[in-house]
Amino acid sequence: MERYNEEKIRELAGKWSEGETSLEEERLLAESLRDPDLPADLRPVAALFGFYAQQRTVMCPEAVLSTHNRKRLSGSRILKRLSITALTAAAAIGLIITVKNKPTQVDVPTLTVGEIYYGYDFGRLIWGQSENRPVYGYLNGEPLENPRMAEAYLIDALAVFGENLNRSTDFIGPLEEVRKSFDIVMKIFEYAEEKPSKP
Amino acid sequence: MTEREYVSLVERMKDRMFRLARRILCDGVQAEDLIQDVFEKLWVRREELSAMDNEEAFMYVTVRNRCLDRLRSKKTRDYPIEAATQKVAGEGSAGEYSDIKNHIEVLISRLPEKQRTVIHLRDIEGESTERIAQITGSEETAVRMTLSRARKTVREQLMKIMDHGTI
């Protein structure tokens, strides 16, 4: 392995302090600074290079990556979002029907996700809610009462839903949450067909 | 970007991303949390990644920006020195090298964030000035200047510590 003499090391260490060394020069400097008999003035630089070499061995804890992989591969977040998407889609369908039936009661261009739900009985019909309060969506069975949160989840969910449209039904078909989501949509469709005939 | 390409990219970059976060935040636990968050964001945006010329630089930029957001949210630009000292002192092993290592950790943690980032990317990760310029949004000459300031500060302060025989 190539090493510089003291004079050359000193010169290069000065150049290094000025930020003027190339990566190759820095590699050779690091190698030369491993000499245990270095003069005192070069020891701080040698200590720094030793520290930097040691820092290169610091690794990302395995738990960080395994947690990420678990989330990524399980698809649980996708399904969670898918569920919200289905519910939102259902609400949107409900809105269209409601607008058709009661055109004077809503201002379509200004509707938000929350407003889609508020005041209508789809939530009660689908989720068995008995309280007449504004619920803007559901996450893990819990009502979302903050319209901004619901809107953020909706945007997120639509993005994820869009990304997964081309996935095979073999992948998502057997999963319970997906079945539930589609059931909700189907119920909305049934409701849409029944509604006009109701008194 | 296929799932396999994404996994390969993350495998290649995870340690470097973690080290950068740890250097900027001066806190390993916070760095773990942040990297987890970054991975999730990148997974959602993996299609954008494949369209980029330099996806590795983008990953560095993402980590740095998230770190800066976190530092700003704490309304402090630099990590408290006392806390850094306690942390590194707790991590080190016994002996002379451990003392030097602790001192260097603290000296680097006292640098302004940009100098800390530049010195880390160059001296630990061995990145070119061109790539560091991309990551930090600076000119290459500015990177060299920042690097020089950082190296001189750490070298001179370490020299004083070693000269005074505290190590």
pLDDT, tens digit, 9 for 90 and up, residues B112-165 = 999 999 999 999 999 999 999 999 999 999 999 999 999 999 999 999 988 876
CB contacts of B97 in chain A (<8 Å) are: 50
Given the cut 0.95, state whether the ipTM is greater than it: no
> Does any CB of chain B come closer than 8 Å to the CB of residue A50?
yes
CB contacts of A43 in chain B (<8 Å) are: 162
- Sequence-separated (6 or more) residues with CB below 8 Å from residue B28: B22, B87
The distance of B43 to chain A (nearest Cα, Å) reads: 8
- Sequence-separated (6 or more) residues with CB below 8 Å from residue A71: A77, B40
> Does any CB of chain A come closer than 8 Å to the CB of residue B93?
no
A110, with CB counted inside 10 A (0-12, 13-18, 19+), is exposed
> Does any CB of chain A come closer than 8 Å to the CB of residue B8?
no
Across the 199 residues of chain A, what is the mean pLDDT of every consecutive 10-residue run?
79 95 94 88 93 92 74 53 52 43 33 34 39 55 58 54 56 50 48 43
The distance of A8 to chain B (nearest Cα, Å) reads: 18
- pTM of this structure: 0.61
List the single residue in A with minimal CA-CA distance to B165: A40
> Does any CB of chain B come closer than 8 Å to the CB of residue A165?
no
CB contacts of A57 in chain B (<8 Å) are: none
Instruction: Report d(CA B77, CA B96) in Å as an integer.
Output: 31
Instruction: Report d(CA A121, CA B22) in Å as an integer.
Output: 51
A176, with CB counted inside 10 A (0-12, 13-18, 19+), is exposed
CB contacts of A69 in chain B (<8 Å) are: 7
8 Å CB contact of B144 and A20: yes
List the single residue in B with minimal CA-CA distance to A69: B7
> Does any CB of chain B come closer than 8 Å to the CB of residue A4?
no
- Tens-digit pLDDT profile for residues A52-91: 999 999 998 887 776 666 666 555 444 444 455 555 555 5
